[in-house]
Structure 1
């Protein structure tokens, strides 16, 4: 019933937590994948104050998803957590602040728990929940679910909420957009193409080992331009070089918006596109969240874990290499996961998706 939340899978209810901490100090794509779980949490505990413990950039995430998250408490990093450099000088104050808040419930949504479960135990929350690897440290057998490596990233956290007695509220991603996002998009360039007349090509990824070949992105972009679609190249400021490499290799004109759009404007751009062609990176999850069809080349990442759940609207191409998933910055053995995916295969997938969804996000 409303106001009660079951946190003991064997049965029984405890009063709904009033103060909940969520630990997930990760990048954009990882955060988008947990939104369905946050939606289930909010439905089960509508009056709770939810604090996200995350990376500094996630201030904007907490603001955008204010329906599910009330505030961000910045995690300063810690040795062993590779997502950000550890600010050890700030860690004692951070830990003191977490403990001072006396959370009723701390949810470990950061990963398998190999490192994060021990950290979570330092928070001194009344209750803890999350995942653990069988055979490794498990803070509470009743509230920690066994980690399954092959499980889809969205589904694993929805199932964790169900395990804790919080019914699922759907598995779809979402990216709330407002008028300010579309105004910011309009300010990014004087001659933006009209909605539905362009494709977004995103050749970057945080790790070079996760990037498909720029010349093949260019070949696919040229074919799409040949079908009458304008090509918009996107990327972060750090990805300007790879975007420029794609543009130099193209025969057809393209619009380079890399580094020119903040996240909200970029999502607005994607929401109005016919199609997105990208690596398996955060932009692929943005496309899924705004329902824009996409073709994703998965180089090095675990495509089973990260592929969009809607296989009709989103198509993932990957090569079956034994070294996947890869955490190398640069591939040391020839980058077969990228070279084995041809431009013909990606262009053919794009043609199929465009035919099936002739009006992009609206179809």
Structure 2
């Protein structure tokens, strides 16, 4: 039996971070909105992630600043003082997020089941979703809203992009050519592909008639990575690393014909725009964290690395098993990525 057989009055979603997982959560929240348009939805979210979702219709955002620690929690609790939700949907496994739920009043607090919950999340919830079989994180998020009573459906996204962001893209990528966006940086440097291979792939795409655009955050390491790629290239790419807001980056990914990225937020942002992604994976399972609509076009050495490290395939290891090592990404050859790029762009022509 679903938790609700008719539309609840109010739901509170808790998913603070990261960018990719917040994109997954949007699909779940918007599924609720389509099924129960009258239900009031509140979303407790991280400060950076809120910038990406600004303008999302019909959602009240409560921003939690994790850098503020306990004071940040008290700020959230004060904003929700006197409020009582029909259900709190607790989609974050971190202990800090679970502590945050203590000050949120809800009849039901719905979390992962014990098999998938980490950091004792199950102690903070009174309802657990049944799902233990979904491979992809997005499917497990959709299981939350199915548990509430929303029929199972394919994910859809409606992410607002304003005319000013579109104008910005048109000014910075003023071309009629097809566009390959390379977002080269993962959250850790060891998960980046090799710099010279990014450069060679970029040159190959330009020789195929593409405009290549580099994107990323304003962090020093990402800016340096972009410069290193440009210096190794024979041709010229447009380098927008450090020059976009999250909203402008979303608009750039919308403009792209193809995106190349390691396991990172922009791969999932591109997915919300229906843009094909060539995902590069070694450390984590692309079937779990890959770009949801582009799993066929990922280039993965994950199973190979897993076998070397554990002597077992992913089917015999815990959900979310990761591979450790600083040189795993070099197993992804330039030829394998060129081959994927060629087959994807050929499909677009056909």
| Interval of TM-score (by shorter of Structure 1 and Structure 2) | 0.7 to 0.9
Distance across 2 between alignment mates of 1:223 and 1:7: 53
Distance across 2 between alignment mates of 1:58 and 1:258: 18
Cα distance, 1:31 vs structure 2? 0.7
> Mind listing any 5+ residue stretches in structure 2 that lack a counterpart?
310-319
More helix by share: 2
Contact 2:87 2:109 in 1 (8 A): yes
Per-residue CA deviation, residues 81-102 of structure 1 (Å, 9 max, x unaligned), is: xxxx452233334334334322
**Which runs of structure 2 are paired with 1:242-261 in the superposition (5 Å)?**
242-261=225-244
Cα distance, 1:119 vs structure 2? 4.2
Aligned partner of 2:183 in structure 1 is: 202
> Mind listing any 5+ residue stretches in structure 1 that lack a counterpart?
78-84
Aligned partner of 1:346 in structure 2 is: 337
Among candidates 282, 298, 313, match of residue 315 of structure 1: 298
**Which runs of structure 2 are paired with 1:1-363 in the superposition (5 Å)?**
6-7=2-3, 13=5, 16-67=7-58, 69=59, 71-77=60-66, 85=67, 87-111=69-93, 116-117=97-98, 119-134=100-115, 137=122, 143-146=127-130, 148=132, 151-187=135-171, 189=172, 192-238=173-219, 239-311=222-294, 314-319=297-302, 320-322=304-306, 326=322, 333-336=325-328, 338-358=329-349
User: The residue matched to 1:34 in structure 2 has which SS?
Assistant: helix
Distance across 2 between alignment mates of 1:115 and 1:145: 21
Aligned partner of 1:82 in structure 2 is: none
TM-score, with structure 1 as normaliser: 0.81
Distance across 1 between alignment mates of 2:135 and 2:176: 36
Per-residue CA deviation, residues 13-49 of structure 1 (Å, 9 max, x unaligned), is: 4x63323211101022111112221122113332222
Cα distance, 1:219 vs structure 2? 1.0
Q: Cα 1:118–1:267, aligned 2, differ >3 Å: closer, same or farther? A: closer
Distance across 2 between alignment mates of 1:301 and 1:140: 28
> How many residue pairs get matched?
331
User: The residue matched to 1:148 in structure 2 has which SS?
Assistant: coil
Contact 2:73 2:100 in 1 (8 A): no
Distance across 1 between alignment mates of 2:12 and 2:137: 20
CA RMSD across the alignment: 2.8
Per-residue CA deviation, residues 234-266 of structure 1 (Å, 9 max, x unaligned), is: 111111111111111111111111112222222
Contact 1:307 1:316 in 2 (8 A): no
Cα distance, 1:61 vs structure 2? 3.7
Contact 1:203 1:278 in 2 (8 A): yes
Aligned partner of 2:316 in structure 1 is: none
Q: Cα 1:235–1:17, aligned 2, differ >3 Å: closer, same or farther? A: same
User: The residue matched to 2:252 in structure 1 has which SS?
Assistant: helix
Cα distance, 1:121 vs structure 2? 4.2
